[in-house]
Structure 1
Amino acid sequence: MLSFPRAVPVSRIATTILRTAVVIAIVLAVSPLRPYLSPSAWPKNSQTSKVHPRPGQLLTTVELGHIEDTARRILDSPLKHPYKEEFGELGRRAQQLRGWISLANSSSSPGDRERLEQVIESTAQSLFPFLQSPPGNPRSSTPLADLVSSFHPRSRGIVIPTGSATLRFTFHSIASLREVLNSTLPIEIAYAGDQDLPPSDRWRLQSRFDNIRFLDVLAVFNDTTLDLKKGGWAIKPFAALASSFEEVIVVDADAVFLQSPEILLEQRKYRSTGALLFHDRLLWKDLFKERREWWRSQISDPSDALSRSLVWTEGYAEECDSGVVVVNKSRPEVLVGLLHVAWQNTREVREEVTYTITYGDKESWWLGLELAGSGYAFEAHYAAMIGWPSGSGEDGEAKLCSFVIGHLDERERLLWYNGGLLKNKKVDGTLFGLPTHWMVDGTWLKGARRTQMSCMVGERSSELAEEEKEVIRRSIGLAREMDTQFGF
């Protein structure tokens, strides 16, 4: 029996409901029925919150009937074009789904549970059609439960989505993680079928590295509504869902770590919410008005996390750098939020909305978690500059420039940066770069073209510690070795 630990409630949940959640967990521990997910506190805006779980008691016929009637209304009113206006509605329905999962897990009646499971599966497949007809079992009537059962209890690991186009950077990344930082976390290489990452490329990776395995996302999800072979960034949330790990660190192939990624799983914000995200650069204040107005049209009750956002409160344009995302799928609110993120990256939705109003998958992560009522947290600072001194700003203050952006841990130490070990992978595929300085909370000066560096001014510049430089130096050395060995 697959069992999930009780989720830690988020701050917006009433104290009385917290007490209820504790009792539910005790009931679940002795229940002979397989849970879909662990019991969780009720979502604030769920219409089903009027039907409170009563541990050890049966739901009344009226209560079950109300749930089934609500599910029928959802099935009779599927989301449709224009999807731009459906993001918030999907979030509200997802919160209802989460509430029903909690009821099913707390039920002491096999009959009640069976009826609730039918409601959960039919609703989940209606809201998230990519769950339907999974390639491994196309006739399954319980694809959500099947997906959850594929997660290995208490497992943690790294998922690197890649294809042939990013294979070189995947070699660089794994070598640094394994042979410089000595990370022992298992690694899954996620891809979208043989056209995306051919068997010959998989063999090359496996011939070089131990403790990696491969995850064909198209073997888990039906690609009919996804088109992940041509989707680029869109594979990332599906890779997170398809992974066998309960706790997943999704890492872009060109992310460069300065500390072991195990540290991510110990960050207080992650442990308290179950989802850790990283900020993008603070850019373009008061621009992209349509984007900001659309977010506000879909979010009626911003969470504490969003209320602290400078994008939300001060009108900046970009919130998230999705080069590293950490999620705990054993927490029901996080899993349901992740389903919303994945929906935003389905073919029709991304082409019509997600990749039109925003850039790639970046903003879909926080938006999906926010709309589904999930707990999540961002790093404390917006993105840092990690690069090289370049003269001085207008007032003589320090000025740092590069083609990458950096991120800090909760101790205010550099943790990782995006863009790879090359100085600028878009311009020169042979020139590696060893950054020397970093700065945080300054003012960004964005390069107009890809050939131009971006810079930061207005704050004190700090030199990288010698151990940080050594991590990058050794990683570059290994990258050069593999470029030669594998012909990149």
Structure 2
Amino acid sequence: MHLRSFFPPATRRTQTLRILAILIIFFFVASISRYQGSFEFSIDEDGQVQSIPLNKHDIYYTHHIATYDPKDIHPWTHGDTQTLKTPAGQNVLKLLTETPFQNPSDANGHHEKVLKEDHFLTLTKQMRVYRGLWKYLKEYYDELEADGRPTEFYQAPPTALAPAIDLFQRIEQHTFPWILSRYKNSFDLYRQTKNGGMGIVMCVGNYHVKFARTAIRSLREVVRSPLPIEIYYLGDNDLSKENRDWFEKIENVKTIDLFSTIDNSFLKIEIWAAKPYAILMSRFSEVILMDSDVFFMDDPGLLFNDGGYKEVGTMYFYDRTLFPGAGGDKKDWMHTFLPTMSNHPGKTQWFNSKGDHEMESGVVVFDKRRNFLGLLAICKLNDYYERTQVTYKRTWGDKETFWIAMEMIQERYSFVRYRGGVIGNVGDAIPFKQVLPKDEIDRYNRGEALTVTHPKDPNSGVTTRREKPNMDRVCGNQLHFDDRGKPLWWNSGIVRNKFVSNSPYLKYTAYMKDEDGSWDFETTCLIQKSPGAIMEVEWDQRKTAFEVLKVDREIALAANQPDVFNILDIPELIKSEGAKGGKGNNEAV
């Protein structure tokens, strides 16, 4: 029996035409690809087409990996060095080392210096030339270092290399002056990245201590991570001695003043900007950067075995799909300073104005040995003038700098394909923005009518009562997945709303992927697009979350500071069928 006998002729003709159309489109796209020969196409799980190196199917199915056209990457050559001696070469040198400010005469500090409008375009050119020079000169510098003669690099360079070394030095002084205040050059800084092993880096201030204490003890006691941890802070006022002493009592945890490792007079580091510099200055060669309110379902050390990380030396996670169209035309902005790009920006929601947040930097996995230059570029986008006048006006803090900087300096990077989802409870029995005393929350949960006000409008008054939860949504905190789509870590803490003092512990019964729902940002609920999108949290992972809550409560009770620490009742852990609704939903964590 032939399969075609099951279908009428008209249906078979329609199917044949569809197949032919798909093949025609495929071969047309392949014919115009910049990656002919060494690349082919893969239609991945979410329907996106990406060009992939041959024999890399699995990695490029589970990750989005930035890949550059080899024609767009220009290594430095001996011919380029000779060109520097010509008038044209001198013009290039001038362009790459002129002041980035519109008003350099105001350098006396009487007025804030303002970057030129095309600064980021010039910065991209500087970074790409610097990258070429760095790789071109590294072998020579290593030889001098091995012979104990590193000072000759600048003081007595060979004639054939002298123009290139001069340009390298001038770009470094111009772009990374903070390096030269502590190191001979970036090669000297690079040496400390090579043999540092693996570790976790966190940035913690006094405000974040209530999260970080639970996060770190959970790493040690719940998921049993042996990785050493470095906690960075910004001066004594940022993290008190009492808090530093508390962390230092935990095995293999060290607190470090970032300002003791770097010259902050150039950078004026604050808040989010500390994160890439903490990665750079840590003693580790391979780093897991982790926010203080991040919690793992498993030992984070497993991230170093991720396929995308092993391929390119970075592992990034996507954010949620929020605020489409906000923040202006990002595609046009990126085109103003990136003459060429990898294959990645064009497939992002951020680039295509479908979302205002692309990357979640709550966890970043970074191999400094392989991506040292990329890390310098990330730091540059978090430098004082760049972040205050450009980067943070175009992006939400440090987040997008981790991949945009890699585009500027042409270093590869990878994203786990799944966007940030949600973990928590089906339905939403607790008003997200309400700030109520505990007795009023109890009244609300009993179904009594209450008049509540919006935190941003004290004059508002709305009478409300608890209604039956909407069972088409999961409400809770932001969840992130491993490369197979399994819950891996979540952020925003372990209560329903970390900004509300009386917020209860989160219940960990269900989760949903961003791709399967639409966000109600005000309530941090993800509403399913079609039935079946809500998934039940596996029992072992629910037990892990339960153990995290126990650790948090123990810390809060020991601190005896109920005004700072949320001393809350822990929901009962019940192994029950139907965690996606019904009794199990109400009683299980």
TM-score range, shorter chain: 0.7 to 0.9
Q: Which residue of 1 aligns with 2:398?
A: 361
1:409 aligns with 2:429: no
Matches within 5 A, 1:20-169: 45=72, 49=75, 51-52=76-77, 62=82, 65=85, 69=90, 72-73=93-94, 76-80=97-101, 81-82=114-115, 85-107=118-140, 111=158, 119-134=167-182, 140=183, 142-153=184-195, 155-169=197-211
- 1:51-73 CA distances to partner (integer Å, 9 max, x unpaired)? 447xxxxx897267579858843
Report the alpha carbon displacement of residue 468 of structure 1 after superposing the two structures with TM: 0.6
Deviation larger for 98-107 or 362-371? 98-107
1:205 aligns with 2:247: yes
1:74–1:123 CA contact under 8 A, matched in 2: no
Matches within 5 A, 1:173-188: 173-188=215-230
Distance 1:355 1:313, change over 3 A: closer
Q: Which residue of 2 aligns with 1:318?
A: 357
Deviation larger for 376-385 or 343-352? 343-352
- 2:233 aligned residue (167, 183, 191): 191
1:169–1:420 CA contact under 8 A, matched in 2: yes
Distance 1:170 1:297, change over 3 A: same
Q: Which residue of 1 aligns with 2:107?
A: none
Q: Which residue of 2 aligns with 1:37?
A: none
Report the alpha carbon displacement of residue 101 of structure 1 after superposing the two structures with TM: 1.5
Question: Taking structure 2 as the reference length, what is the TM-score of the superposition?
Answer: 0.66
- 1:227 aligned residue (237, 260, 268): 268
Higher relative contact order (CA 8 A, sep 6+): 1
Specify the structure having the higher radius of gyration (Cα).
2
Distance 1:202 1:156, change over 3 A: same
Q: Which residue of 2 aligns with 1:433?
A: 506
1:399 aligns with 2:472: yes
Deviation larger for 300-309 or 185-194? 300-309
1:465 aligns with 2:538: yes
2:318–2:419 CA contact under 8 A, matched in 1: yes
Report the alpha carbon displacement of residue 199 of structure 1 after superposing the two structures with TM: 2.3
Q: In 2, distance between residues paired with 1:243 and 1:121?
A: 25
1:152–1:244 CA contact under 8 A, matched in 2: no
Q: Which residue of 2 aligns with 1:280?
A: 319
| SS of match in other structure, 1:259 | coil
- 1:341 aligned residue (365, 368, 378): 378
- 1:277-316 CA distances to partner (integer Å, 9 max, x unpaired)? 1111112223332444323323332212223323324632
Q: Which residue of 1 aligns with 2:409?
A: 372
Q: Which amino acid aligns with 2:175?
A: L
2:510–2:535 CA contact under 8 A, matched in 1: yes
- 2:521 aligned residue (437, 441, 447): 447
| SS of match in other structure, 2:286 | strand
Q: Which residue of 2 aligns with 1:239?
A: 278
Distance 1:100 1:61, change over 3 A: closer
Report the alpha carbon displacement of residue 377 of structure 1 after superposing the two structures with TM: 1.1
Q: In 1, distance between residues paired with 2:479 and 2:72?
A: 36
Q: In 1, distance between residues paired with 2:298 and 2:36?
A: 35
Report the alpha carbon displacement of residue 88 of structure 1 after superposing the two structures with TM: 3.4
Q: In 2, distance between residues paired with 1:250 and 1:180?
A: 19
2:318–2:359 CA contact under 8 A, matched in 1: yes
Q: Which residue of 1 aligns with 2:427?
A: 390
Report the alpha carbon displacement of residue 430 of structure 1 after superposing the two structures with TM: 5.8
Q: Which residue of 2 aligns with 1:8?
A: none
Q: In 1, distance between residues paired with 2:408 and 2:541?
A: 38
Q: Which residue of 2 aligns with 1:296?
A: 335
2:179–2:185 CA contact under 8 A, matched in 1: yes
- 2:297 aligned residue (248, 258, 266): 258
Report the alpha carbon displacement of residue 270 of structure 1 after superposing the two structures with TM: 1.1
Distance 1:120 1:247, change over 3 A: farther
Q: In 1, distance between residues paired with 2:35 and 2:302?
A: 27
Q: In 1, distance between residues paired with 2:355 and 2:410?
A: 23
Q: Which residue of 1 aligns with 2:26?
A: none
Distance 1:88 1:177, change over 3 A: farther
Report the alpha carbon displacement of residue 404 of structure 1 after superposing the two structures with TM: 1.8
- 1:158-210 CA distances to partner (integer Å, 9 max, x unpaired)? 10111111011111111111111111111110111212112221111112x10
- 1:426-454 CA distances to partner (integer Å, 9 max, x unpaired)? 11366221321111112322333xxx333
Q: Which residue of 1 aligns with 2:578?
A: none
Deviation larger for 253-262 or 193-202? 193-202
When the two chains are superposed, the root-mean-square deviation of aligned CA atoms in Å is 3.1
Report the alpha carbon displacement of residue 100 of structure 1 after superposing the two structures with TM: 1.1
1:214 aligns with 2:235: no
| SS of match in other structure, 1:417 | strand
Q: Which residue of 2 aligns with 1:481?
A: 554
Distance 1:65 1:265, change over 3 A: farther
Distance 1:44 1:61, change over 3 A: closer
Q: In 2, distance between residues paired with 1:293 and 1:167?
A: 40
| Pairs aligned (count) | 429
1:305 aligns with 2:341: no
Q: In 2, distance between residues paired with 1:281 and 1:60?
A: 44
Distance 1:434 1:116, change over 3 A: farther
Distance 1:77 1:453, change over 3 A: same
Distance 1:386 1:246, change over 3 A: same
Q: In 2, distance between residues paired with 1:339 and 1:426?
A: 34
Report the alpha carbon displacement of residue 116 of structure 1 after superposing the two structures with TM: 5.2
Q: Which amino acid aligns with 2:396?
A: Y
Q: In 2, distance between residues paired with 1:190 and 1:43?
A: 38
Question: Taking structure 1 as the reference length, what is the TM-score of the superposition?
Answer: 0.79
1:234–1:346 CA contact under 8 A, matched in 2: yes
Report the alpha carbon displacement of residue 473 of structure 1 after superposing the two structures with TM: 0.6
Q: In 2, distance between residues paired with 1:278 and 1:123?
A: 32
Report the alpha carbon displacement of residue 12 of structure 1 after superposing the two structures with TM: 7.6
Report the alpha carbon displacement of residue 416 of structure 1 after superposing the two structures with TM: 0.7
Structure 1 residues without counterparts, runs of 5 or longer: 1-10, 16-40, 54-58, 135-139
Distance 1:98 1:341, change over 3 A: same
Runs of 4+ in structure 1 over 6 Å off: 11-15
- 1:382-435 CA distances to partner (integer Å, 9 max, x unpaired)? 1112121118xxxx9963333421111112211111101122111136622132
